[in-house]
Amino acid sequence: MLVLDANILVRAVLGKRARSILERYAARARFYAPDVAFADAREHLPGILAKRGIDAAPALAVLEALRTIVECLDAEMYAPFERIARQRIESRDEEDWPVLAAALALDCAIWTEDADFFGTGVATWTTDRVELLLDQPKAPFADQGN
């Protein structure tokens, strides 16, 4: 299991690598993102694409389609871990607490390009390294009847 940060969702929409990793491992790994990560991606994509002179509608459709691979977690699921998540990330970017709280709630790693998660007590993987985790036989993130 992996919890995705909003920057991975944006990369999965705009690029090829993150999306191909999600698609390749969807059958054997579980991917999650807090509802606010989807909201952040939805908020930032139009501005990113406007700078490139690209219509945002197709990208937003791709983001919504990612929900078939990446499960959106409601705040009630990770809210019990808010206090500890805020404590662990407060000196970096406290706004990222939902991603950390979701990882704590699910007892799993985070996939991000944001160094703010390093040192928070949760394994953190970047796109260039995450396949090392995903390729492990009988990996700890495999479906365990959840």
Q: What is the pLDDT of residue 94?
A: 73
**Higher model confidence: residue 103 or residue 95?**
103
C-alpha to C-alpha distance for 137 and 118, rounded to whole angstroms: 25
**Higher model confidence: residue 56 or residue 145?**
56
Band (pLDDT 50/70/90 cuts) for residue 145 is very low
Band (pLDDT 50/70/90 cuts) for residue 99 is very high
Band (pLDDT 50/70/90 cuts) for residue 144 is very low
Cβ 93 vs Cβ 114: under 8 Å: yes
Q: What is the pTM of this model?
A: 0.89
Computed over its alpha carbons, how large is the radius of gyration of the chain? 15
Q: Domain 5-134, what architecture? A: 3-Layer(aba) Sandwich (3.40)
Q: What is the pLDDT of residue 138?
A: 62
